[in-house]
Amino acid sequence: MKSAINKKIAIVLTTFAFLTQPVFGQTSFGTRDCGRWVKRIDSSQTKLAAEGWLAGYMSGMNLVGVANGNKDVLEKVNSLDQINLWMDNYCNNNPLNSASDGAIILFLELSRK
């Protein structure tokens, strides 16, 4: 059962990654940089793709964790605006880092609460 759930999650995340690649301006999954994140406000399409990517990335990590018996980390989040604001702050303070690193750090912080 867990294997089937994990396979479905992987398919959804892979599909989502391919759909958002051109809009977010990167060529490989997981290497989105904070410079692009901060500049996402230049276009509503880019903003939607970047924030959608982050929501999917966080949801994917959470679903895999829950499928493997861990707690639902995102139940502590009240809205996507909170996640986006956290990433805004992270990327403004760490412009040379990747947004993927920021998403992982946020996920780990939420896991400890």
pLDDT of 103: 92
Confidence of residue 31 (pLDDT cuts 50, 70, 90): low
The C-alpha atoms of residue 37 and residue 112 are separated, in whole angstroms, by: 25
pLDDT digits (tens, 9 = 90+) for 52-78: 889 998 999 999 888 888 899 999 899
- 80-94 per-position pLDDT tens digit: 999 999 999 999 999
pLDDT at 20 > cutoff 90: no
> How far, in Å, CA of 75 to CA of 45, rounded?
28
Number of domains in the chain: 1
Residues 52, 61, 17, 42: is their CA dihedral positive or negative?
Answer: positive
Which tokens go with 2? Answer: 């867990």
- Whole-number Å distance between alpha carbons of 63 and 13: 11
Residue-number span of the structural domain to which 40 is assigned = 2-112
Chain centroid offset of residue 68 CA: 19
> What single-letter amino acid sits at 83?
I
Taking every pair of C-alpha atoms in the chain, what is the biggest distance, in angstroms? 43
